[in-house]
């Protein structure tokens, strides 16, 4: 029987015993007064930050401030207030949160999770193996997070029903359901990991290997082979991560050496890293350079000839963006080509951190186009409204991008800054995970 592991990498030796840290200082009346004033600030980013800080005080007197924020004009502030009411743990919030279950999708799902933190579980559907429409897509994360807080037999049975379902929609969610079931460590899940290691869906096998202490070499090799056949770099990357923990050291080394000839540079980089760490071997020369399809002079010509202003129509309204062809020609060209193909049409902003950034470009955050582009580092700062290209590796990016909701100085020298917002700033703080890109128009 395979052994379940909570982490995809070997557990480090336990640290030396230390005295427990002192409890955090109790907030003074002056601090509470400051946070209350911040909750009424004109800037929605400040109001959102105030919500989180108020909940962390644990003071019952902040309850009224959080309740007042439920009527805020900004949906992200309202969502932050809902989260904070759940974190505060005050049972008085229950009827208010229950009344929000019929609101828009964002507030409804946030309210369900907040109620779960209050030990009120409004999210457990009654029909085994059936996923209600509200939990499809991003809603699955809320459902699983709520069920994680509910350790009852009914919750376990419902999760098992989702796992056993043959529906196509739930098949895609099984890699997320598996770790939730295994974390319960109850008799009903006995043998589940072995079952997952031999599952017909290679995404499930991939997840199972990452949850196994000593992944079987044959499973790792089979997953890597399927990843080659299906041209799936994610499966191949996970196969190498798993085989690095295999008990068969010679077999693991053999597979890592084979991966040095992988057609994808990211996989070769991973193989080189594991061979260096595990066996002390240096194969850096096998990584190779990223191949691009144009010479630098062509991009310089492109920077002088192409219009740099584009229009992004969203469900909130119109945003105009100016691309920085001069400093990031590869990234700008890549973004325009994807937009002209309609790649971004209908896509949601899949990750929104209020007051920090909004990320878009792929529905579940895992996809990528058929090519990679180099990171283009330059000296333009990341300000509110700047565009940044997300990266899969330290020097490679593809299709997912960020819009900065505030200055991000720590991104400088790490991500490609390839443009900025020139119109539509009033929409930025209203972006949620329900916001869609309708289309991008290239003049």
The pLDDT profile of the chain, 443 residues, written as one tens digit per residue, is: 454 444 444 444 444 455 566 665 677 888 889 999 999 998 888 898 899 889 888 888 999 999 999 999 888 889 899 999 999 989 999 999 999 988 877 788 888 888 888 887 765 565 666 777 777 766 788 888 888 888 788 888 888 888 988 887 788 889 989 999 999 888 888 889 999 999 999 999 999 999 999 999 999 999 999 999 998 888 999 999 999 999 999 999 999 999 999 998 889 999 999 999 999 999 999 988 766 555 655 555 555 555 578 999 999 999 999 999 888 888 888 898 889 989 999 998 988 887 789 999 875 444 444 456 778 888 888 999 999 988 755 445 568 899 998 888 888 878 899 999 999 999 998 998 889 999 999 88
CA 84 to chain CA centroid, nearest Å: 21
Ranges in the chain annotated CATH 2.40.100.10: 296-441
In sequence order, the 6+-apart residues with CB closer than 8 A to the CB of 23 are none
Global pTM reads: 0.64
Q: Are 442 and 307 in contact (CB under 8 A)?
A: yes
From the number of C-beta atoms within 10 Å of its C-beta (0-12, 13-18, 19+), residue 67 rates as: middle
In sequence order, the 6+-apart residues with CB closer than 8 A to the CB of 151 are 184
Q: What distance, in Å, lies between the first and last C-alpha atoms of the chain?
A: 60
What is the torsion angle, in degrees rounded to the nearest 10, for the CA atoms of residue 213, residue 216, residue 222 and residue 224? 40
**What is 133-286's CATH number?**
1.25.10
- For tokens 């994610």, the residue is 234
Ranges in the chain annotated CATH 1.25.10.10: 29-122
pLDDT value of position 237: 92
pLDDT value of position 10: 45
Q: What is the pLDDT of residues 254-265, one digit of tens each?
A: 999 999 999 988
- The CB-based long-range contact list for 112-115 (8 Å cut-off, 24+ gap) reads 112/142, 112/146, 113/83, 113/86, 113/142, 113/145, 113/146, 114/82, 114/83, 114/85, 114/86, 114/87, 115/86, 115/146
| Secondary structure class of 224 (helix, strand, coil) | helix
Q: Other C-beta atoms within 10 Å of 343: how many?
A: 18
pLDDT value of position 287: 87
Q: Are 255 and 240 in contact (CB under 8 A)?
A: yes
CA atoms within 13 A of residue 105's CA, in its CB half-sphere = 14
Helices (H), 118-231: 139-148, 153-164, 168-182, 192-197, 202-210, 217-229
CA angle 208, 209, 212 (to 5 degrees): 90
Q: How many residues does the chain have?
A: 443
- For tokens 């070769």, the residue is 268
Given phi > 0 = left and psi -120 to 50 = alpha, else beta, which region is 131? beta
* CATH architecture group of domain 29-122: Alpha Horseshoe (1.25)
Q: Are 246 and 215 in contact (CB under 8 A)?
A: yes
The neighbouring-strand residues paired with 393 are 396
Looking at domain 296-441, its CATH superfamily turns out to be Cyclophilin-like (2.40.100.10)
């Amino acid at each position: 029987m395979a052994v379940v592991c909570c982490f995809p990498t070997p557990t480090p030796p336990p640290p030396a015993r230390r005295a427990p840290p002192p409890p955090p200082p109790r907030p003074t009346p002056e601090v509470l007064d400051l946070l209350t004033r911040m909750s009424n600030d004109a800037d929605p980013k400040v109001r959102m930050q105030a919500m989180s800080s108020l909940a962390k005080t644990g003071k019952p007197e902040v309850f009224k401030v959080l309740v007042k924020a439920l009527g805020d004009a900004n949906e992200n502030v309202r969502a932050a207030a809902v989260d904070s009411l759940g974190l505060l743990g005050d049972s008085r919030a229950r009827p208010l949160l229950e009344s929000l279950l019929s609101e828009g999708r964002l507030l409804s799902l946030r309210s369900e999770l907040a109620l779960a933190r209050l030990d009120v579980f409004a999210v457990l559907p009654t029909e085994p193996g059936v996923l209600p429409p509200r939990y499809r897509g991003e809603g699955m994360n809320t459902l699983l997070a709520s069920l994680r807080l509910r350790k009852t037999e009914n919750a376990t049975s419902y999760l098992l029903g989702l796992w056993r379902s043959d529906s196509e929609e739930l098949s895609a969610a099984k890699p997320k359901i598996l770790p939730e079931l295994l974390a319960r460590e109850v008799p009903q899940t006995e043998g589940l990991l072995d079952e997952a290691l031999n599952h017909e869906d290679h995404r499930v096998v991939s997840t199972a290997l990452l949850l196994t202490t000593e992944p079987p070499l044959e499973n790792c090799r089979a997953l890597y082979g399927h990843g080659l056949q299906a041209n799936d770099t994610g499966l191949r990357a996970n196969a190498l991560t798993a085989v690095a923990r295999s008990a068969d050291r010679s077999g693991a080394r053999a597979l890592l050496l084979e991966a040095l000839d992988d057609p994808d540079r990211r996989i070769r980089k991973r193989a080189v890293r594991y061979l260096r760490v595990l066996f002390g071997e240096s194969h850096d020369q096998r990584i190779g350079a990223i191949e691009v399809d144009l010479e630098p002079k062509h991009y310089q010509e492109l920077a002088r000839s192409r219009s740099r202003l584009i229009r992004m129509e969203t469900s909130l309204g119109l945003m105009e963006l100016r691309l920085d062809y001069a400093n990031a020609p590869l990234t700008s060209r890549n973004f325009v080509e994807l937009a002209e193909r309609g790649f971004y049409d209908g896509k949601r902003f899949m990750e929104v951190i209020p007051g920090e950034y909004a990320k878009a470009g792929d529905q579940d955050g895992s996809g990528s186009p058929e090519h990679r582009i180099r990171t283009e580092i330059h000296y333009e700062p990341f300000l509110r409204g700047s565009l940044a290209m997300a990266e899969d590796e330290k020097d490679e990016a593809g299709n997912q991008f960020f819009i900065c909701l505030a200055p991000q100085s720590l991104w400088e020298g790490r991500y490609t800054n390839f443009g900025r917002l020139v119109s539509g700033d009033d929409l930025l703080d209203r972006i949620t995970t329900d916001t869609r890109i309708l289309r991008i128009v290239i003049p």
